[in-house]
Structure 1
Amino acid sequence: MGDDGRDRDSAGRARSARPRDGLGRPLPYGAAGVERQPEGVVRTPGETLREAQRLLNAGKPFHAHEVFEDAWKSGPEEERALWRGMAQLAVGLTHAARGNTAGGARLLRRGAGVVGAYAEEPAQAPGAPYGIDVAGLAAWARALAERVERAGAAVDAVREAPRLTRR
């Protein structure tokens, strides 16, 4: 802990040391949580997609969002919007699974707009790299946003996990 009573990492940045559940919610100190995703990991695009898919399939979209966040922060400038959109999809699923239907739907639609642009406007966008199913992801996100708003209830993150690639 720092002098201000906040948890700090080794570099002195504020970082909660509380354990977290599979959806990234803080648990009480001493509770058993899930292993956290390491931050700042530089992966190839293929490694990013494989790790994020593994986490989504395990019902851990919050952790998948952190993998995408690493890609957007470390990747080439021309790919940052794609990875940021992918992170928005994962965090939208996180909020929907936590029961925050309004926030989840908003983030799902925002991510769908970013990711979907790679399929809708090829003259302006670089196209769908790395086998990412951008059209399918955008459609999945928009449909899920509608369902969570209509139902007004949390969704099951495992059952709702999208398939990231066409392969």
Structure 2
Amino acid sequence: MDGRERDRDGGGRARSARPRDGLGRPLPYGADGVARQPEGVVRAPGETVAEAQRLLDAGMPFHAHEVFEDAWKSGPEQEAALWRGMAQLAVGLTHAARGNSVGGARLLRRGAGGLAGREGVHGLDLAGLVAWARELAGRVETGERIDAAAEAPRLTGPAA
């Protein structure tokens, strides 16, 4: 460390106060960054999906992963694996857009594996998301440059 005290949140937990860009990368102190998602927000499943879709469409998959993480941690235990898989897809897209092809492909495949074969709930198109993630993982591994907003998946099916 550089001798500076660690940044802490209001509860005393270590939390970097450095601003972040749209992909969640830390910026220098004092730089203009993207507002962070508040932590621990309890949303109805439909609100989770809508907020995550808005963030994905804006090219902010890191922030979408935080929305899914809130659902994973605050929702019913029987849905934890669903929301964890969704968070993994979003963070996989984050790493891919940051240029981390190994981590991006790995997380996209891990999320797809956790969602494969599950019944769609809350309007989520899980079969479509699994196919999207696996196809994107293959492209990421070839070194293709990924734009997060352009690659944002549709979370719900056409009938939703």
Superposition TM-score, scaled by structure 1 size? 0.91
The CA deviation at 1:154 is 3.3
- Residue 27 (structure 2) pairs with residue 15 (structure 1): no
Cα-to-partner distance string for 1:116-142 (whole Å, 9 max, x where unaligned): 231xxxxxxxx2111100000000000
Residue identity (%): 76
> Matches of 2:52 and 2:75 in 1, distance apart?
16
Determine the structure 2 residue equivalent to 1:129.
121
Q: Paired residues, what number?
A: 156
Determine the structure 1 residue equivalent to 2:101.
101
> Matches of 2:41 and 2:66 in 1, distance apart?
10
> Matches of 1:21 and 1:79 in 2, distance apart?
30
Determine the structure 2 residue equivalent to 1:145.
137
Output the amino acid matched with 1:10.
Answer: G
Determine the structure 1 residue equivalent to 2:56.
56
Superposition TM-score, scaled by structure 2 size? 0.95
Determine the structure 2 residue equivalent to 1:80.
80
Determine the structure 1 residue equivalent to 2:150.
159
Unaligned runs of 5+ in 1: 119-126
Unaligned runs of 5+ in 2: none
> Matches of 1:142 and 1:112 in 2, distance apart?
7
Cα-to-partner distance string for 1:13-68 (whole Å, 9 max, x where unaligned): 00000000000000000000001000000000000000000000000000000000
SS of 1:117's partner is coil
Determine the structure 1 residue equivalent to 2:25.
25
Show structure 1 runs of 4+ deviating over 6 A. none
> Matches of 1:60 and 1:68 in 2, distance apart?
13
The CA deviation at 1:153 is 4.1
> Matches of 2:15 and 2:144 in 1, distance apart?
30
The CA deviation at 1:115 is 1.2
Output the amino acid matched with 1:97.
Answer: A
The CA deviation at 1:159 is 0.5
Output the amino acid matched with 2:39.
Answer: E
Output the amino acid matched with 2:58.
Answer: A
